[in-house]
Each structure stands twice: as C-alpha cells, then as structure tokens.
C-alpha cells in the first residue's frame, strides 16, 4: 500500500499520543534495517545457551527478517512500560520469593490487548498505515530493538536499562510501514560495575551481556521442564518463580522505584509464595488460583517442584508433612525435588 499520505511527523505524534493513552512510559523509534541483535541471537543459539527453549530456534526466521511479519515494514516503534513496585515485607516462615514482574496481572494479556486497541486506533487515524504489534511472545528481539532505538542500553545482565531510572520495564514493539526518524542509541552506562555478574547465585553469566539460560534461575523455575540438577537446586535459594537478583543490585534501579502501572502491583500472596499451600493444593485448583497471572507458566508440576526445592533450601523441619505429601505426586520431577528436600532436612 502506498505510504505517500503518511506524514512522518503526524505518524510519530499519533503513536506517542496513543502510547501515553494506553499507559506506556517510553517511546522510541528504530529503522527496521539492518536487523538489530540477530548476530548475537544466532551465537546464543549456536552455543546451545537457550537450553530446552526450542521455540527460540523455530522463531528465528521472522526475528532475522521482520518483513515476514509485515512485508512493508520500515520502522519499529519500541514501547516501554514500567512494572517495578516495592517488594512487600518478608513474611518469613515457609515462603518463597516471586520475581517482581509476576506480582500482578499477566503482562502478555494486558499489554497485548492495549496494543491491539492502540494499533486499531492508529490505523483509523492514519489511513494507509500498516502495523504488526507484539509483546514478548511474538518473534521480535525486543531488547535488541530497545538498544537500537535508545530506549535503554543493554547492561552486563543482558537487560535493557534506562540509565538512573529502571530496568524493570516491559518492552513492546509495533512494526509500521512509515519511515520515521530513528532515535539515537545510548552509550554504555555500566562502566566497570559488575555487581550483576558477581551476585548471580548460579554463575549464569559467562561474560558481560552473555547469559547461559541453562543456569539462570528464571529459566530453571519457569521454562525448564523436569528435574533440576542438585547443584543448581541448592543455589536457587528462596526463589520460587523467576529471579531478580541481577536487577536488585543494579545501581540504575533506585531504592524507591518510579511509579509503575498499578495493574502490576503485588496481589496478596503473589510476591511471597506460601510453599506449603502450593504443595498441598491439587493441581487443578492451583491453576485456577493463578488464572490471569504469569505464575501459571510452569504448570502445576513446575510450581510444586519449585516449592519443594525452596523448602529444601530453607531447611525448616516444619515443611516435612508437605514434602511427604509431595513425595506421592504423580510427576517424577516433583517427587525427586521432595525427596531431595527431605534429605536436606
């Protein structure tokens, strides 16, 4: 379709206005070509650092050529939405930690719906505009485009960071057929700091900006299926779902986070998980409880495996009844974690 009627200044103005309307805190733009981050992505796959996430290899073609998603693409609009809220006080007892991004509503659904409405409005306001939008689950290398557009720089923890503001940022992208002036990339703001590299409990970083997902606690507790090796189980500590260690020590994340979308504020019992309850609740009820939450991602067996693992690390004998119950679970990975935890007690 002809783009002759798409005035770049008006397109940018409309995108910024719609982004603000739907709660996005940051907007940047990058030229669609050359493709950002594909060389690093290929090396990640070639080295097998994606573990069992085979979908990363299967979705490589459109990541390498966004024209497979939108043949007329000229520009990628990168949007950022803050999600960081202050962590509720530690309740102690038999509880495990949940990564900050999963405390509230599932961002895939929430941001996905906002993007759908936003792009519909843009196409109505700008006849001739073509769009393709995605958040995380679509085959787009969001962090690479965030770096290319100047949304943030890529830190040594491989996350997009807005200097002195936040790395607690959901990233979304809109491919458009209008050619807009790209925003300028940022320089590196890590310097000699290596707090994130040194604090990682499992030594998942094989170098600055290079993550071996197979050792990452977020991967192990969310994406990985089946058993977790004993040496890594004991290093997950209290992390029940995901991990924020490399963000919590980053000096670019202030002690008092910037205001974030209230939909991502911690729901009761979601920042600190009652591990006995997880093990004693039947699988179906567990999934119903986490309806609309990212915590559903590992499924009931993954959640119970994680709960048993954390109880083993806590070493509190009060967990014995729940672990004995988990030892009878039909899934082998749950039974294995329960036996491992009981041995540690």
Residues annotated as part of the active site: 136
User: 168, 84 in Cβ contact below 8 A?
Assistant: yes
8 Cβ neighbours under 8 A, 6+ residues apart: 178, 179, 180, 181
Say if residue 54 is exposed, middle or buried (CB neighbours under 10 Å; 0-12, 13-18, 19+).
exposed
Residues in the chain: 345
Q: What is the residue-wise DSSP string for 105-167?
A: S-HHHHHHHHHHHHHHHHHHHSTT--EEEE-SSSS--HHHHHHHHTS-EE-TTS-EEBTTTBS
Q: Within a 10 A sphere around the Cβ of 107, how many other Cβ atoms?
A: 20
Beta bridge partners of 31: 75
User: 250, 196 in Cβ contact below 8 A?
Assistant: yes
User: 228, 312 in Cβ contact below 8 A?
Assistant: no
ω into 228 cis (within 30 of 0): no
The single-letter DSSP state of residue 86 is: P
Residues 115, 223: Cα–Cα separation, whole Å: 25
Residue among 91, 100, 84, 89 nearest 256 (CA): 84
């Amino acid at each position: 379709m002809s783009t002759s009627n798409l005035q770049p200044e008006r397109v940018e103005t409309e995108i910024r206005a719609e982004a603000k309307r739907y709660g996005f805190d940051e907007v940047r733009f990058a030229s669609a070509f050359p493709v950002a981050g594909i060389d690093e992505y290929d090396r990640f796959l070639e080295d097998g650092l994606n573990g069992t996430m085979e979908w990363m290899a299967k979705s490589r073609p459109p990541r390498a050529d966004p024209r497979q998603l939108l043949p007329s693409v000229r520009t990628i609009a990168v949007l950022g939405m803050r999600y960081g809220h202050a962590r509720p006080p530690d309740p102690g007892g038999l509880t495990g930690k949940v990564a900050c991004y999963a405390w509230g509503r599932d961002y895939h659904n929430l941001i996905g719906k906002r993007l759908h409405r936003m792009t519909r409005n843009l196409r109505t306001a700008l006849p001739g505009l073509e769009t393709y939008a995605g958040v995380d689950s679509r085959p787009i290398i969001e962090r690479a485009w965030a770096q290319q557009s100047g949304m943030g720089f890529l830190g040594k923890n491989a996350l997009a960071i807005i200097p002195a503001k936040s790395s607690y940022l959901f990233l979304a992208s809109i491919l458009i057929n209008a050619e807009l002036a790209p925003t300028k990339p940022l320089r590196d703001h890590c310097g000699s700091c290596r707090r994130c590299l040194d604090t990682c409990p499992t030594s998942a970083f094989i170098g600055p900006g290079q993550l071996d997902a197979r050792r990452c606690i977020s991967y192990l507790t969310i994406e990985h299926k089946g058993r977790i090796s004993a040496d890594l189980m004991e290093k997950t500590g209290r992390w029940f779902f995901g991990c924020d260690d490399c963000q919590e020590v980053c000096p670019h994340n202030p002690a008092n986070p910037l205001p974030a979308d209230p939909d991502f504020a911690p729901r009761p019992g979601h920042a600190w998980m009652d591990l006995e309850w997880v093990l004693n609740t039947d699988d179906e009820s567990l999934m119903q409880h986490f309806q609309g939450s990212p915590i559903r991602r590992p499924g009931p067996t993954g959640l119970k495996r994680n709960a048993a693992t954390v109880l083993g690390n806590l070493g509190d004998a009060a967990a014995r009844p729940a672990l004995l119950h988990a030892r009878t679970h039909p899934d082998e990975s749950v039974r294995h974690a329960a036996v491992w935890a009981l041995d540690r007690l």
